[in-house]
Amino acid sequence: MRKTGYVVLPLHGGHAPAWLTKRMKLLADEMVRLIVLEHGPDRFLQRMADPYWFQALGCVLGFDWHSSGLTTVTMGIMKDIVTPERHGIVIVGGKGRASRSAPTDIEEQGSVMGLSSSTLEGLKYASRICAKVDSSAIQAGYPIYHHTLLFSERGRWAVIQQGMNSSDRSARRYHWLSEHVKDYVVEPHDAIVGDSVVETVLNMTAREAEENRKICVDLVKQNPANLVSSIKKIGSNSVPLDTWTDGGASRPDLLTSAYEMPADLNWDIFQQLYDTQPRGYEELLAFRGVGPATVRALALVAQLVYGAEVSWRDPVKFSFAHGGKDGVPFPVNRPAMDDTIKFLRELLEATEVERSHKKDAIQRLEQLSLRWSA
């Protein structure tokens, strides 16, 4: 994985005031226009998939550096000002209900751009499978509530989406870039940015979970009655879990939490999967009706019955906001930060917005630079 990491993103409610969003739109419009003019639409998508650049952009536009709202407001501003006519880019989706309009918006706006029907179908699939991976294949307690897809005239895309943990009021952001996705279900992200490393995360995108993914596919292609029987036996209080783990697990804490079988399973889905006979894990995951509970049940059966180890490794492991200058948990990538700041400063100096707006934005960028280098 290229740029996984964590940064505190506390949930902040409310709305950005109108006077601020007006200024943010003016500044964002100029900056996006300059990037596209100098480097092309696809380079803008690359920048948005970079967590350093995205975080700095949100700060330059006027948002708190560590707020969860930086994601939703920045993407809301971008969706309002970015147009295919001016920038060669379309942004669809958004927060809550707006995210569910992504397929329709892709169809409508992509057709206006002249994209082929096969390209449009590919974009709609990318939107859906990215959301499915981050809500079901990676289970860290952050259900997706904000989903945006950006795409260019060439059909290239980026996805930026965010999940929310309502219990500790924190957020986790996921970045995807089409040209880096070799496999949707094997460490496909450009970045995952969150609050902290969770001890036990069901991570079905981990490379070390490959055998477990294969067994999951084999399970749904066999008699569903046998699969349902295995799930019910594992979930039964009358059957101790050490029956399935050769005398007990080395991690007793996992037995009471991570190894708990979901209780809200849709049993009909296993018959539907059997009738479909998915060819691989991605096809299994993409199947409509397969959600976190189904993914977890299959993963547990694959491990506890067939010995195919699942990964409990949280893919978040890189820090750029705090606690990283000493190399714990991971060294800060200062050259990347410096490049981001230099690039944004040059953009700001070239913008045609009012001098006061430009001055405020440069000051925010300088403050961010001092925070990161302190």
Name 123's Cβ contacts closer than 8 Å, sequence gap at least 6. Answer: 106, 110, 115, 149, 151, 155, 157
Q: What pLDDT does residue 368 have?
A: 61
Distance CA 314, CA 200 (A): 7
Handedness of CA 73, 50, 179, 176 (dihedral sign): negative
Distance CA 15, CA 21 (A): 10
Q: Which structural domain, as residue segments, surrounds residue 295?
A: 207-304
| Residue of 372 and 5 predicted with greater confidence | 372
Could you tell me if 190 and 329 lie in one domain?
yes
Could you tell me if 104 and 153 lie in one domain?
yes
pLDDT of 76 above 70:
yes
Is 358 in contact with 346 (CB distance < 8 Å)?
A: no
Q: How many domains does the chain have?
A: 2
What does DSSP say about strands 157-165 and 170-177: parallel, antiparallel, or unpaired? antiparallel
Q: Which of these ranges, 59-63, 65-69, 97-101, has the smallest mean pLDDT?
A: 65-69
**Range 283-312 average pLDDT:** 96
Task: Answer yes or no: is 38 within a domain.
Answer: yes
| Residue of 330 and 80 predicted with greater confidence | 80
Is 26 in contact with 313 (CB distance < 8 Å)?
A: no
Task: Answer yes or no: is 102 within a domain.
Answer: yes
Q: Which of these ranges, 122-126, 160-164, 346-350, has the smallest mean pLDDT?
A: 346-350
Task: Answer yes or no: is 309 within a domain.
Answer: no
pLDDT of 291 above 80:
yes
Distance CA 97, CA 74 (A): 17
Q: What pLDDT does residue 34 have?
A: 83
Where among 304, 337, 362 does a domain terminate?
A: 304
**Helix 334-350 × helix 18-39 angle, to 10°:** 100
Tokens 């082929």 locate to 116
Where among 281, 304, 327 does a domain terminate?
A: 304
Could you tell me if 294 and 349 lie in one domain?
no
Task: Answer yes or no: is 312 within a domain.
Answer: no
Ramachandran angles phi, psi of 35, nearest 5°: -60, -45
Could you tell me if 48 and 116 lie in one domain?
yes
Could you tell me if 91 and 49 lie in one domain?
yes
Distance CA 367, CA 72 (A): 22
Is 261 in contact with 234 (CB distance < 8 Å)?
A: yes
Task: Answer yes or no: is 51 within a domain.
Answer: yes
Task: Answer yes or no: is 166 within a domain.
Answer: yes
Q: What percent of the chain has pLDDT over 70?
A: 73
Could you tell me if 351 and 262 lie in one domain?
no
What does the pLDDT look like over 7-30, one tens digit per residue? 444 444 555 566 567 777 877 888
Name 304's Cβ contacts closer than 8 Å, sequence gap at least 6. Answer: 234, 241, 244, 245, 259
Could you tell me if 189 and 211 lie in one domain?
no
- The total of other beta-carbon atoms located within 10 Å of residue 48's CB is 26
- Using pLDDT thresholds of 50, 70 and 90, give the confidence band for residue 356: low
Could you tell me if 77 and 212 lie in one domain?
no
Average pLDDT of the residues of the chain: 81
Task: Answer yes or no: is 55 within a domain.
Answer: yes
- The total of other beta-carbon atoms located within 10 Å of residue 39's CB is 13
Burial class of residue 65, CB neighbours in 10 A (0-12, 13-18, 19+): middle
Could you tell me if 19 and 142 lie in one domain?
yes
Where among 304, 330, 356 does a domain terminate?
A: 304
Enter the DSSP assignment of 310.
P
Could you tell me if 261 and 346 lie in one domain?
no
Task: Answer yes or no: is 311 within a domain.
Answer: no
What does the pLDDT look like over 324-354, one tens digit per residue? 333 334 454 567 656 666 777 777 677 766 6
Could you tell me if 234 and 142 lie in one domain?
no
Q: Enter the pTM of the model.
A: 0.81
Is 89 in contact with 48 (CB distance < 8 Å)?
A: no
Q: By three-state DSSP, how is residue 144 classified?
A: strand
Could you tell me if 212 and 169 lie in one domain?
no
Give all strands of the β-sheet with 89-95 in edge-to-edge order. 5-6, 191-194, 170-177, 157-165, 144-152, 89-95
